[in-house]
Structure 1
Amino acid sequence: RVQTLVVDGDRVVGVLAKRYGKDVAIRARKGVVLAMGSFAYNNEMVRSNAPRIFGHPAASIEAHDGRAIQIGQALGADTAHMDATEVAFFCDPQLMVRGILVNGRGQRYIPEDTYPGRIGQATLFQQDNQAFLVIDEAAYEEGMNAESSSAQLRAQPTWVAETVEELEAEMGLPHGSLQSTVDLYNRHATEGSDPVLGKKPEWVKPIVGPFAAIDLRGRTGGFTLGGLKTTVDSEVLHVSGAPIPGLFAAGRCTSGVCAGGYASGTSLGDGSFFGRRAGISAAR
């Protein structure tokens, strides 16, 4: 387990680490590559840099403790996009596209057929983590029977009712809020359109009784995307803008390609593509 970097002058020449409780010193003849994951499980770093996901870790492992970023910073390494985060949303897309997502005011806030990570960001960052999926019986059964890679994300209805008014009351939403949302959605859905949020026509159908709602409050979690600032050759940059000699980094301990939002598998690219470039750069 790496504890710190060793420098000779301004050049990184090795690491100090612990192996089964014993201290070891390892010399690197050409370079050191940091590839130790994000800081998603370092509560203090999350609280300081990405507080919007504090208390919501997911899709990560406890070894992602930010150590690589910290030992790089100890040498003056620069960082970027430390507030950037992925946000997962735990609901089967096969169900979401067939219903409507509403917030704590009974209003739709995002097209239900968009990427779930974008739904998670909108829910956590803009809707106080308040989300409900409203769906009718026919659409629910269709979604449950559809082929899905997210069967573990399927959920049973939290509330069921014969009318939207009854469902609204059961959910504790403001009187008339959900009714007006469903009325507006259905008015255009009869023509297969969603002019309010632009869901694709293939998923737009009127919601008719019996009705159900799935409570999705708090079903978000994420990991951090910011980290050490690097060149395209995976050299770690000093705050001065110059590369730190002998130090390279790749993967989630760096600020990768998805600071504005995440798409599934991007970490594989940040790890493998830039990992190869880091290895080649160090070997040179």
Structure 2
Amino acid sequence: LMYSGGENSAPFLDIAEPAPRGHVPELAGKKIGERSGGYMLMKPLADTVAELGIDVEYDTRIRRLVVDDEDRVVGVLATTYGKPVTVRAARGVVLATGSFAYDTEMIDRYTPRLSGRPGAAIEEHDGIGIRLAQALGAELAHMDASEVAIFGDPQMMARGILVNGRGQRYVTEDTYPGRIGQATLLQNDNQAFLIIDETSLEEALATESATPFFRFQPKWVAETVAELEAEMGLPAQTLQTTVATYNQHAEHGTDPLLGKKPEWVRPIKGALACFDLRGFTAGFTLGGLRTDLDSRVLHVSGEPIEGLFAAGRCTSGLCAYGYVSGASLGDGSFYGRRAGKAAAAG
């Protein structure tokens, strides 16, 4: 287990006692990007589907929901390898079609801060399930909510300081990177610079949990803060004041401004490096269909739409304006089971 949501960082550690709640999958000989957590989750599920003889239709894309005279969902119109197909649903239809991270029109309408940003999802997240349910009067929730990833090494960020385009710190650097990404894109115009001294940088790169994918050369190096400030093109004294304030308290192992934990707080001294993280964010959407505890899709009237269920990122589930790594697995698995049981009972 790990602190996957930053609950052991400020301000959360002062609100509730931190506890590791995130599961870390372990696979012998695992390599980055190869047979990782997703593989370990899906392999036994796929094997079980095959063993049970369940029919699976590939490259099938939903186009319409079909309702009967009593407005109950009784099937779907779709295409399989481009050819039209119809599917009769005796008990119900479960939508598990993902978010709308790759639908440009929906992004522009609901989460414009993500417009033009890479989607931290697969391209099949086109919002189709949300739009089809909307056509039946489905209620939506938290459509402006999003997760924002930032492509920076947490080991480096925790040991340095992050400043915005004004040379000011704006987030505690040892928090969950998703919070850093949100603060960067949503509150600081996607402007972020990581400043770290030579000693801390070498220490970060030597750690076993450093992320090779996020390793790249700094854009600026300098012997003094004043020199770095000038190289970055910041107004005189802005960065110098930020570093001086940070160092004044870091000498005593404290960070009263943002609350970074003492284990990461140390004065920034000697040769400096600055990593340009402007535009280094990508996001995915968290809003979607409003459902009840049985995963029934709710009409704008508040009543369930008969025969229609949903789970995962096409719904507004556990997450709204915050996220922790792996939470989408909860929305998918827990509410997927609830949807399956409720549909079967129908």
Q: TM-score, normalised by structure 1?
A: 0.99
Q: Return the offset for 1:155.
A: 2.7
Partner Cα distance (1:29, 1:149) in 2: 51
Report the Cα distance in structure 2 between the residues aligned to 1:135 and 1:24, rounded to whole angstroms.
58
Q: Is 1:171 aligned to 2:200, yes or no?
A: no
Q: Aligned match of 1:135 in 196, 202, 205? A: 196
**From 64, 67, 79, the counterpart of 1:7:** 67
Distance 1:58 1:17 in 2: 25
Greater per-residue strand proportion? 1
Cα deviations by residue, 1:191-228 (Å, 9 ceiling, x for unpaired): 11111111000000010010111000000110000001
1:266 equivalent in structure 2: 327
**Other-structure match for 2:139:** 78
Aligned-partner SS, 1:269: helix
Whether the 8 Å CA contact 1:132–1:213 is kept in 2: the answer is: yes
Q: CA separation in 1, counterparts of 2:210 and 2:222?
A: 29
5 Å-filtered alignment, 1:206-217, equals 206-217=267-278
Tell me, what secondary structure is at the counterpart of 1:97?
A: helix
**Counterpart code for 2:334:** F
Partner residue of 1:280?
341
Residue by residue, what CA displacement relative to the aligned partner does 1:236-256 show, whole Å, maximum 9, x if unpaired?
000110000000000000011
Amino acid corresponding to residue 62 of structure 1 in structure 2? E
| Structure 2 contact 294–339 (Cα < 8 Å) conserved | yes
Corresponding position: 1:39 with 2:100? yes
1:59 maps to amino acid = A
Q: Which residue of 2 aligns with 1:155?
A: 216
Alpha-carbon distance in 2 for matches of 1:107, 1:26: 57
Shift of 1:147: 1.6
1:248-259 superposed matches below 5 A: 248-259=309-320
Asked if the contact 1:85–1:224 (Cα under 8 Å) also holds between the matched residues in 2, the reply is yes
* Structure 2: stretches of 5+ with no match in the other structure: 1-60
Q: Following the alignment from structure 1 to structure 2, what is the Cα–Cα distance between the partners of residues 271 and 98?
A: 35
Quick check: 1:58–1:88 contact (8 Å CA) kept in 2?
no
Q: Is the 8 A contact 1:6 1:14 kept in 2?
A: yes
Bigger Cα displacement from structure 2, 143-152 vs 215-224: 143-152
Query: 61, 65, 70: which one pairs with 2:122?
Result: 61
Contact 1:31/1:246 (8 A) holds in 2: yes
C-alpha distance in structure 1 between counterparts of 2:271 and 2:295, whole Å: 56
Task: Write the letter of the residue equivalent to 2:90.
Answer: R
Q: What is the Cα-based RMSD across aligned positions, in Å? A: 0.8
1:149 is displaced (CA, Å) by: 5.8
- Which is further off, 199-208 or 152-161? 152-161
Shift of 1:260: 1.5
Q: CA deviation at 1:57?
A: 2.8
CA deviation profile, 1:111-138 (whole Å, cap 9, x unmatched): 1001110011111111111110111000
Task: Give the drift of 1:22.
Answer: 1.3
Instruction: Give the superposition deviation at 1:154.
Output: 2.2
Counterpart AA for 2:64: T
Contact 2:138–2:297 (Cα < 8 Å) also in 1: yes
Out of 227, 236, 240, which is 2:288 matched to?
Answer: 227
Letter of the 1:8 counterpart:
D
Whether the aligned pair in 2 keeps the contact of 1:163 and 1:209 (CA below 8 Å) is: yes
Contact 2:143–2:288 (8 Å) recurs in 1: yes
Identity of aligned residues (%): 68
Matched residue pairs, number? 284
Question: 1:56 Cα deviation (Å)?
Answer: 1.1
SS in 1 for 2:159: coil
- 1:8, CA displacement in angstroms? 0.6
TM-score of the superposition, structure 2-length normalised?
A: 0.81
Give the structure 1 partner of residue 109 of structure 2.
Answer: 48
Residue 122 of structure 1 pairs with residue 183 of structure 2: yes
CA distance in 2, matches of 1:23, 1:134: 56
Match for 1:101: what amino acid? L
